[in-house]
Amino acid sequence: MSKKITTKADKKCFCGYFVVRNTKNLIIIIYCVHYGPFFFNTKNYSKKEEEERPSSKSFSFRVTSKQNHRRKRKEKKMTTTKRGSLVQLKCAIQHYDWGIVGDQSAVAQLGSLNREEPIAKEKPHAEMWMGTHSSGLNVIKNERREHLKSFVESNAEEALGKKCQQRFGNDVPFLLKVLSVAKALSIQAHPDKQLAERLHEEKPNMYKDANHKPEMALAVTEFEALSGFVSEPKESLQKCPELRALTGIRMEEMDAMREDKKAQMKHVFTKVMLAEKEEVATQVQTLVKRLKAENKKDERDELALRLNAQYPDDVGVMCAYLLNYIKLQPGEAVYMAANEPHAYLDGECVEVMATSDNVVRAGLTPKARDTEILCDMLTYKLGKPEVLTGDVIDKNTTRYSPPFDEFELEVVSCAKEDTAEMTVSQGPSILLVKNGKGKINDDVAIEKGSVVFANANEKMTLTSSDEGGISIYRAQVNTRVF
């Protein structure tokens, strides 16, 4: 049996507080705004009496204790987020051995500011992850310390937008990273969706998800990489006798396939990557000895020597002559589709990709290799990769749009005490402050290292501080989807 207060409705207006004490001496304070005179019914009804009472246009309040009332208000506050809110994130840092050691790298500095913790100067700082992938979960900076992934799943339509949700499901379709590269990453490629599903099913400990992983890297410093196959496979064999010796391929074989250069490259690359480890070591050592004795070396020769210093006698050293060697300048970007070989070599970049961590490796790595799968999965497309310089959207915004639906990247900058109206995306956004201080929408204070998740259709105004300008990276769903 419970005590209730009912208020009869009429045409007059009344507002105020009511303090009610029940038989157990528990107090509740009720604030009412209501039209009409009030009468209070404080009778204790039995269950049967309550069922038999005639219905009327009334308001009922169950009497509860102060403690219960406060607890429920706190729970409501902690479990709801108003529409259009922006949430700040604490991001994940990866300390892979190829990262830059010390406190001067972008990952070390941004990560320290973002996580509000000192830099571990003795550790390599390789990657800073911003997104929902389980290998690098982000936490919302609020009382609950909720994972971004669970926040998005519980607010999917509002957070992602209808079109994004229909297209990609109840998750953020992209992952934003910062990379600080001190030595070469593995010779690798990322599987398409069909292969990713199979690999994830067969080797879930090695391939963490069932998604594909197209990606794009935007240079922050000069950034070196191997990307895609060179145009002339035969020329690679002619230039490097050790490569020719390792494969055992005669020039007559290459001539017989001259009408199909993709077939040439597949023949050469597969022979190299599947060669016996002892024979690889012998030919790499012979190559290094010859190059050190030569006075004149080109950039590929220099790269082969550098790769061998990092990964002695590794088959990946030979890839210096088979893959395109590129040097991006700050503000230039390159993208990699699924099933295309590449390896980052040196420098710092901002990277955005589909939400996945699937990597098939075959060289320059202490990690597990799937060489046969890599050789079989590649498209063997030849030629240099396309380099993007960005499209100017307005005086504050440059956009990099690769041919993938899941993502694109914007760089938004403001001069001192200036504002920028950011483009409105129908999907979610993740924003990283590269440098400077300012605010978003006058109420979200941001500075270097701040990371913000924005719901779909969020209108955002970026304002710099009076201390100087501000620059941010913004990852979002590719506008072509909408």
Domain CATH number, residue 469:
2.60.120.10
pLDDT at residue 70 in the model: 52
Query: Is residue 47 one of the residues assigned to a domain?
Result: yes
Encoded tokens for 64: 């509860």
Asked whether residue 420 is assigned to any structural domain, the reply reads yes
What's 273's DSSP letter?
H
Indicate the Cα dihedral angle 353, 359, 365, 369, nearest 10°: -170
- Terminal Cα distance for the chain, rounded: 56
Q: State the residue for tokens 């993208």.
A: 335
Q: Among residues 44, 79, 114, which one ends one of the domains?
A: 79
Cα separation of 387 and 333, whole Å? 6
The CA distance from 372 to 362, in Å, is: 8
Structural domain harbouring 25 = 4-79
Q: Residue 363: what pLDDT?
A: 96
Q: Is residue 465 part of a domain?
A: yes
Residue 440 lies in a domain: yes
Of 456, 446, 451, 472, residue with least CA distance to 424: 456
Query: Helix (H, G, I), strand (E, B), or coil: what is residue 419?
Result: strand
> Any idea which residues carry the catalytic annotation?
361
Task: Say if residues 228 and 323 touch (Cβ distance below 8 Å).
Answer: yes
Q: Which residue positions in the chain have pLDDT lower than 50?
A: 1-43, 45, 47-48, 50-66, 69, 72, 74-84
**473 in any annotated domain:** yes
- Residue 226 CA, distance from chain mean position: 22
Count of beta carbons in the 10 Å neighbourhood of residue 193: 15
Beta-carbon contacts of 68 under 8 Å, excluding residues fewer than 6 positions away, are none
What's the number of domains the chain is made of? Answer: 2
Domain boundary among 79, 113, 129: 79
Following DSSP, what letter does each residue of 303-364 receive, concatenated? HHHHHHHHSTT-GGGGGGGTEEEEEEPTT-EEEE-TT--EEEEEEEEEEEEES----EEEES
For every residue of 351-414, DSSP letters joined together read: EEEES----EEEES-SS---HHHHHHH----BSPPPEE--EEEETTEEEE--S-SS-EEEEEEE
In this structure, the number of other CB atoms found within 10 A of the CB of residue 464 comes to 21
Q: How far apart are CA 204 and CA 123, in angstroms?
A: 28
pLDDT for 21 equals 46
CB count in 10 Å sphere of residue 307 = 25
pTM: 0.82
- Report d(CA 340, CA 404) in Å as an integer: 14
Residue-level pLDDT at 144: 82
Question: Given this model, what pLDDT does residue 44 score?
Answer: 52
Placement of tokens 């229909």 in the chain:
166
Residue 116 covered by a domain: no
Q: Would you give the distance in Å from CA 477 to the centre of its chain?
A: 12
How many residues are given for the chain?
482
Tokens representing 413 are 């900058």
Instruction: Please give the pLDDT value at position 435.
Output: 96
Nearest Cα to Cα of residue 173 among 458, 430, 480, 459 = 430
Q: For position 85, what pLDDT does the model report?
A: 74
How far apart are the C-alpha atoms of 233 and 323, rounded to whole Å?
10
Strand partners, 62: 4
- Burial (Cβ within 10 Å: 0-12, 13-18, ≥19) of residue 64: middle
Give the integer Cα–Cα distance in Å for 265 and 378: 11
CB 187 within 8 A of CB 321: no
Does residue 92 belong to any structural domain of this protein?
Answer: no
In a domain, 395, yes or no: yes
Helices (H), 53-105: 66-79
How many whole angstroms separate alpha carbon 449 and alpha carbon 63?
Answer: 48
Instruction: Give the residue from 38, 55, 79 where a domain finishes.
Output: 79
